[in-house]
Structure 1
């Protein structure tokens, strides 16, 4: 594998993905593309000027056709959420962009990573437009929500974030669910943690759900954390790690779901999201996952209508 990564869209999110990818040292070549070609060229120049501070990686701009030579293409094109707007409010505008990108990548032999919101429905749109296998069209899904959950739990419990094992599943959005029944800290079930209360679960789940809106209200966008999330996903793909991540992909029977893109724990390696895992869930969590799937199916149908 040549470890060539392409990024389509060099706005605030795309450039944060580029910076995190360079710092992580996962790519040997990083190709940038934007409808505004001058912007992509300027970002490539600016990033190249910092070459002394990250592992060796060549930077260049590329056309959409040239992106087909990459091992992984990250799609960060489209507009960002506006204050007071939900991710699904973005849908119609960004669905048109994803359909165009999908058609351009038809026959692509690598893996596509989608960052643009609403990421779940757009993952489905791009997969259908490209005709690529579902395991090779991955959305960042609830990876960021899961990272937010672990950070908040760490602050709540006074434990290092990387010692906490907890996941957010379903939609990257308002219908997401926290898998509280499976959450652990150092092997200890969270619900057995001294002083843990059901009220804490409700409070933290809400905080995770609205975290993006809180950031957007203050700075107009979210970009840095999703850049780090995407670089981590690229690492799993390019290094064939077989790491379990909560990525979004079109499901083909997992948890009884068919044709809807949402996040479940997924083994990620060189071939993409090659194996979807279905964790144990209590009855409430199963119902919440089914509800999330219904929300996303309705959103997808609204685009197709």
Structure 2
């Protein structure tokens, strides 16, 4: 007696099997960041259908098999994957973490151009198989590669954005919370601009229970601040470098950040994230540059972008951020 005979004796099929795609998420790139995201998505029960894609067929097969063995502990979520982009068909969200790393002595533009070549193999097949999906770009340099993904996909701006400064803002809140001795989710403060060295700390918006710290400590964030709050922002910028120096890569924090973004899309809760979006027309920026601003997320992607009231110095810094990125971005060859 073969297995099919046994199955037929055990149950009677009434309707054909239908793949559930309402929460289907494809993760491209199964390095530390990609698998950190997959772990968070599964353990928090954000998606019941996760697809892993990677050019390393052997490794992705191993990760899929390992995760499938864990599904009894994960509400029986469906996990599949491989190298074939048709597996991503009808995804609600496609998260891209794949990319090449900067080599010693390599210019930023050369790194970007090499990643453009990688994205040419990733973005078009994702867009073809899931023409209505939302693209979340995590690969670095995040802001420029979000622009690249937008251009290659042909998607409207509301359906292409980067994880941007969402994690930077979380680090900011953690460090501020440690300084004040309270819980991180009780401190409010944002990092905007580039996901990188030219990011901008919005000191004017840092508050605890509606108490704006700048009102009682005007020197906050300035070079002449005796309490050295500026060191908090420096630590935010340095944060990823510190983690990489200690363990070789980042994974958990960015994984949870990605999962948080995906959950708020799927749940359609209109939550605010610091995401890398097209800022042309904001703060007198005239180019198609992607930088992080407070972004309202819903089931169709970007719903609104919050118009922050920034100080003159903060506006100047975000404009400088845009110029730094455009100087690299303008020479990209598609």
TM-score > 0.5 by shorter chain: yes
1:57 aligns with 2:77: yes
Is 1:73 the counterpart of 2:102? The answer is no
What SS class does the counterpart of residue 85 from structure 2 fall into?
coil
What CA distance in whole angstroms lies between the structure 1 residues aligned with 2:32 and 2:298?
27
- 1:284 counterpart = 2:300: no
Equivalence for 2:268: 240
Deviation at 1:252, TM superposition (A): 4.3
Q: Which of 190, 193, 209 is the aligned partner of 2:237?
A: 209
SS, match of residue 105 in structure 1:
helix
Match 1:230 to one of 258, 276, 289: 258
Cα distance in 2, alignment partners of residues 270 and 235 from structure 1: 10
**CA-to-aligned-CA distance 1:6-62 (integer Å, 9 cap, x gap):** 111111111111001111211010011110112111111112222243344110115
Number of residue pairs matched by the alignment = 305
Residue 131 and residue 241 in structure 1: after superposition, are their counterparts in 2 closer, same or farther (change >3 A)? same
Q: Which residue of 2 aligns with 1:144?
A: 167
C-alpha distance in structure 2 between counterparts of 1:84 and 1:148, whole Å: 29
TM-score by length of 2: 0.85
- Name the counterpart of 1:185: 208
Query: Take 1:271 and 1:178, find their aligned partners in 2: how far apart are those partners?
Result: 28
- Provide the secondary structure at the position in 2 that maps to 1:10: coil
User: 1:87-107, CA deviations, whole angstroms, 9 ceiling, x for partnerless residues?
Assistant: 877423322212322222335
Moved more, 233-242 or 196-205: 196-205
Larger radius of gyration: 2
Distance 2:139 2:264 in 1: 20
TM-score (norm 1): 0.93
1:6 counterpart (9, 26, 32): 26
- In structure 2, the CA distance between the partners of 1:295 and 1:56, relative to structure 1 (3 Å rule), is same
Unmatched 5+ residue regions in structure 1?
none
Residue in structure 1 matching 2:329, options 275, 295, 300: 300
Question: Is 2:108–2:328's contact at 8 Å kept on the other side of the alignment?
Answer: no
1:273 aligned partner? 302
RMSD: 2.2
Change (3 A) 1:196 1:22: farther
**Whole-angstrom CA distance in 2 between matches of 1:89 and 1:207:** 28
Measured at CA, do residues 194 and 285 of structure 1 come closer, stay the same or move farther in structure 2, by a change above 3 Å? Answer: closer
Task: State the partner residue of 1:221.
Answer: 249
Indicate how the Cα distance of structure 1 residues 153 and 53 shifts in structure 2: closer, same or farther if over 3 A, else same: farther
Q: Which residue of the partner structure matches residue 129 of structure 1?
A: 152
Q: Name structure 2 gaps, 5 residues minimum.
A: 1-20
3-state SS in 2 of match to 1:241: coil
> Could you say which residue in structure 2 is the equivalent of 1:161?
184
Separation in 1, partners of 2:195, 2:272: 17
